[in-house]
Structure 1
């Protein structure tokens, strides 16, 4: 196999490998050194991918084309907050430019609230900078096949408050949910995205969203991640 070649365009560094599979991973970090380091780490472990790193959201959005709509995006925000207007605007711009691309956040914070808010915004993964490279690569693998990744440490830190609520919500899945809702619950437990759930259950994505809202309401859960946590706790208690 030939060595990768480096091309520079639009403030982005593009690495090409001469291999048959050419999935694209877009990396964004305003700090050039960090952006280069993430790109290097991912490229050395995933030589079959095309890796493009940017130091500007605008440059990344400007590069959008039909060919990379299905790319995976690693958006590194450092110590930034996911509830900031800057982050939300950037996320909207990326989602509009790359409608088919799952977005993974890389951030310094491991705060559970920040992680759950990012998932509520449609993010498909959250990798804290305290994680190892192997964990980060496995997170990418999971998201690529339709899953959602969050660090276990974030749930562990908020375990007491979540369990405090779930202990008061003893339920029977078969009695609490309809057959279709129970199927959606099982998919949520596996971290599947709405699009995947809709395909597997042969229903519209809008119908899946309605089911998810009703499930959250029945469990008094704030988001789909908490739904998975509560139902997993119930299933594990039955084993």
Structure 2
């Protein structure tokens, strides 16, 4: 478990062990501390990264999640955070996390979510899934023809490009860093085999005329 706050990580580690997590909990202040002490520790089965009041979209957090997920490829990374905003959940998953636990849930749910990730599943808060359903029911149909080809976030960025919005505006509206928007645009261009933003907008318009496409 990674948490820079000593009292928080010690209390949570104790609570997880008391609720029969089924794993030995090793609480560390950072991934660097783990690297120093890993020789005397058990092999990792799951990494629980407690953000507390911080957000995935805060400076440096998303990059840290990507780095940990990339370094420990076979070990699922689960995020624990105070917010359960849908944008935060999606960004965490896009960075390689295999689960997102809001601190609004009880310890029993937290234990089950960690075990689900260890077994190969992905846990996301029900409130976030329900908010996505609400968006669809409220008439947000614009991105539907794109959801077969793109991830939800890519579809949102592609729709914004179709409307001619600048990267800075897209980043602000979707609560993303501008550098993340650029990464999404590059991936969209690859999928559409487009060479510039104008061609992306043109091809996205064609997708609306053709209807949903299969996933590439």
TM-score (norm 1): 0.56
Q: Is the 8 A contact 2:63 2:95 kept in 1?
A: no
Match of 1:52 in 2: 26
Please provide the CA RMSD for this pair: 3.0
Instruction: Flag structure 2 segments of 5+ consecutive residues without an equivalent.
Output: 155-216
1:135 to 109, 132, 140: 109
Q: Is the 8 A contact 2:82 2:102 kept in 1?
A: yes
| Match for residue 41 of structure 1 among 15, 19, 23 | 15
Unpaired runs of 5+ residues, structure 1, are 1-26, 171-215, 225-239
The equivalent residue for 1:85 is 59
- What's the CA shift string for 1:79-114, capped at 9, x where partnerless? 112123321332244234423210000000010011
1:220 Cα deviation from its structure 2 partner: 5.0
Structure with greater strand percent: 1
2:148 maps to which of 218, 227, 239: 218
Q: How many residues align?
A: 154
CA distance in 1, matches of 2:143, 2:63: 38
**1:44-81 CA deviation, whole Å, 9 max, x = no partner?**
1236422100122320233446x856420010001112
Hey, what does 1:154 align to over in structure 2?
128
2:6 equivalent among 27, 32, 37: 32
Task: String of CA shifts for 1:3-42, please: whole Å, max 9, x gaps.
Answer: xxxxxxxxxxxxxxxxxxxxxxxx1111111101110011
What is the aligned partner in structure 2 of residue 195 from structure 1? none
Aligned pair 1:144/2:118, yes or no? Answer: yes
Aligned pair in 2 of structure 1 residues 166, 62: CA closer, same or farther (>3 Å)?
Answer: farther
Range moving further from structure 2, 47-56 or 119-128 = 47-56
The 2-side partners of 1:128 and 1:74 are apart by: 12
Counterpart position of 2:47: 73
Q: Distance in 2 between matches of 1:81 and 1:168?
A: 26
Of 83-92 and 143-152, more deviation after overlay is shown by 83-92
Distance verdict in 2 for CA 1:61–1:83, change over 3 Å: farther
Deviation at residue 147 of structure 1 after TM alignment: 0.6
1:229 counterpart residue number: none
Q: Is the contact made by 1:64 and 1:97 (CA closer than 8 Å) also made in structure 2?
A: no
The 3 A distance-change label for structure 1 pair 126 and 220 is same
Q: 1: CA distance between counterparts of 2:150 and 2:141?
A: 9
CA contact (8 A) 2:98 2:123 kept: yes
TM-score, normalised by the number of residues in structure 2? 0.61
Distance 1:47 1:105 in 2: 16
Give the corresponding residue for 1:15.
none
